[in-house]
Each structure stands twice: as structure tokens, then as C-alpha cells.
Amino acid sequence: MKTNAKVIYASELILAVYLIWLKLNMGNVSNLLKNITALIVFSILMIILLAFFGIEKDKNYLKGSSARIVITGLMVFFLITYALGIILGFRRGFLYHDLFSFIKNIAFVLVITVEIEIIRYIVAKKCFQNEKLLVVFTVLSSIYNVFMEMNMGVLTTSEDKFIFLSTIIFPIMASEALCSFMTYKTGMLSSLIYKLVINLYIYILPIVPDLGDYIYSVANILLPFILYNTLNKMIIKYDKEKQQLKKINRVVFVTPLVVLFIILVILVSGIFNHKLIAVASNSMVPMYSRGDAVIYEKVNVESLEVGDILAFKKDDIIVTHRIVKIWKRGDQYFFTTKGDNNNGNDSYMPKEADVLGRVRLSFKYIGYPTVLINEFFGKE
């Protein structure tokens, strides 16, 4: 292994050890301590890499065009999101009681952002066609940003976990991947502009659009995707040798993933009349099994019949069992349910207020990620 690669791997190992420490002490570390330790670690890493390699002048001939595309994309992004804010509403940005607090918070974000982008630039320049070095740094920087965004609360419900994935993890992964792509292909300038604007605007602007979790998630994944596509087209124009590979990557792989994610957001959020949930047990075998996913339709309880598969809430858990009896007491409907694979009826009898809907479709295996996430976070 070349000496340069060893130095970069050693630096990434230091960052990985810091992230492990941060994870193990997450519940005991204040935001101030997280900020201070992060500043120290990234300063050390930057100094190490600068001492070994220095920093080359960014001579990439695409850096000016790339920066203009990023600036234009960010302007369009803010125009659209603030236009949506007129419809959906706004919320206050960060409020500061004095100039010192404002400068302190802005300075931390500014310094850390610049340090990370300098480190990314050095890694991208020194990877010697060994792109794994840059991939490892991208993964580690994504984990760092996720940890810095995490609250100390516990994610208890599937919806909480999905919101965390869609509004924190996915946008951060998309943003970090875009920055590594831009740095590797067009230099540091466009990546630095993008990260500074995205990281700082919420601290500077007095109001920001209140788009809600799902629209926010889609917007912050689409922005990196659109910038990637636009920059990729520009690179292909100037780099004929990679034209076929880029077209296949853009059309065949990336676009369907974005479309699929948007569809999943709509189904899991239940914005419309149907909602997608994961099955966590085998109580309805052979109809569907643990790890499958089902879609239930929101219906009027009067339309339910014996034999329908009912989706209902029991405490904080969603159960999907078959109706074996319906009766009415006063103005309230009650249901007796049973899992097809269970020996007897359920002891809990859902009432009208517990009913979520009627199960319409099931899909094999695609609910496993949600089930595994629930188990990872310790949900019983």
C-alpha cells in the first residue's frame, strides 16, 4: 500500500474511533462538548493531512461552471421552498439574545464545515484511483453529521424511526455523497459553497419554511439528486470517455430509486387514503408473514364485514388480524379479531376508535428493513 493511502487510512481510523466514542457516550455528552470535541478532532485531522500533503491549488477547469450550477440550484431551491412556505407556513430560525451567541454558533458551523471540506479535498486528490478512500470518508462524515443532528430522545414508534431516517439520515447521505462527487470531479469550490449555504442558512435567516417532515425530506433529497444530474451532464460533455457509464448510472439506477423513495414516503406517511406498514409477527400465516408489508385502506367502520382483515391500534402497536365478529353497543362498534395462525380469538377487542382501516394488499419481504430497525432500537 502506498504511503499516501496509509496516511489517509490512519486519519480515517482516528475519525472512526472518535465516532465510536461519541456513540458510546451519546447520552452523557452535551451539545457544547460535542462541538468542542468535534472541533478538536477535525482540526487535528486537517493539520495531519496538511503536514503530509499540503494543499494543492484547485486547478480543475470545471470548478467555475460547477460553482455556477450549484449557486443556481440553491437559488431555485430557496425560491421553491419559500414559495411553499407561503402556503404551508413558516417558523422562526435560531434566535440569539446577543451578538456573541450568534457569532459563537455561526463560527463553529463555519469552521467545522471548512475543515471537513478541506479534508475531503485532500482525500479526493490523494486517493490515486483508489476511490475506497473517498468512500470511507464519505461514510464517516455522514455518520458524524447524523450524530450531530441526533436528539437525546428515544425513538419509540415506527413512525418516529421512519421520520428520523427520512429527515435526517437520507438527506445527510445524499448531501455527503454529492459533496464527495463534486470534490472528486470538479474540485472543492462547489462543494464548499453548497455545504456552507445548507449548513448556515437556518442560523442566519429569521424565518424558514415549515414544510413538514415528509416534504422536507423529499426536498432535501431531490436537491442533491438534481445537482448531481446537472453536474454529471456537464462532466459528460467534457469527458467523452465516460459518457456511456454516466447515462446508465443516471437513467437506470438513480431515477427509479428516487421515484421509489417518494412513493414509499407517501405510503408510509398515510398522506392519502392508504398506508404501508410492516408485519412484525407470524400471526397471519399463511396470508402474510413476519417481514412482509401490508397496505391498509382507511374506511368507514360501517363498511367492515366479518372476514375482512382489520388494521387497528392496541396501545402503540398496529395489529392486522381478521374480523370474526362485529357487534354494536349503543353508538359504538366493537370487533372480535383473530390471527389466522393463532389458536384462539384475541383477548383485546378493538372498538371503533381503534380502527385504522381494512388491509387491501400485502407484499413479501419488503417490510424487513422496518422490522430490523425496530429490533435494533430495542422495541419489544
Dihedral sign computed on CA atoms, order 180, 36, 160, 365: positive
* 108, 94 Cβ separation under 8 angstroms: no
Residue 252 CB contacts under 8 Å (≥ 6 apart), including other chains: none
CA distance 318 to 297: 14
* 119, 234 Cβ separation under 8 angstroms: no
| CA 180 to each of CA 139, 257, 266: distance values in angstroms, whole numbers, following the listed order | 10, 20, 29
* 225, 171 Cβ separation under 8 angstroms: no
* 289, 279 Cβ separation under 8 angstroms: yes
Cell matching residue 166:
427520512
Within 13 Å and on the Cβ side, how many CA atoms surround 120?
30
Rounding to the nearest 10 degrees, give the CA dihedral for residues 5, 11, 15, 20.
80
Q: Which residues are catalytic?
A: 283, 321, 346
Comparing CA positions, the residue from 10, 114, 16 lying closest to residue 53 is 10
Cell matching residue 238:
467534457
Q: Tell me 165's DSSP state.
A: I
Cell matching residue 32:
457544547
Residue 268 CB contacts under 8 Å (≥ 6 apart), including other chains: 162, 275, 276, 277
SS3 of residue 332 by DSSP:
strand
* 32, 190 Cβ separation under 8 angstroms: no
Q: Tell me 351's DSSP state.
A: B
CA distance 40 to 42: 6
Residue 208 CB contacts under 8 Å (≥ 6 apart), including other chains: 85, 90, 91, 92, 93, 201, 202
* 320, 375 Cβ separation under 8 angstroms: no
CA distance 176 to 22: 20
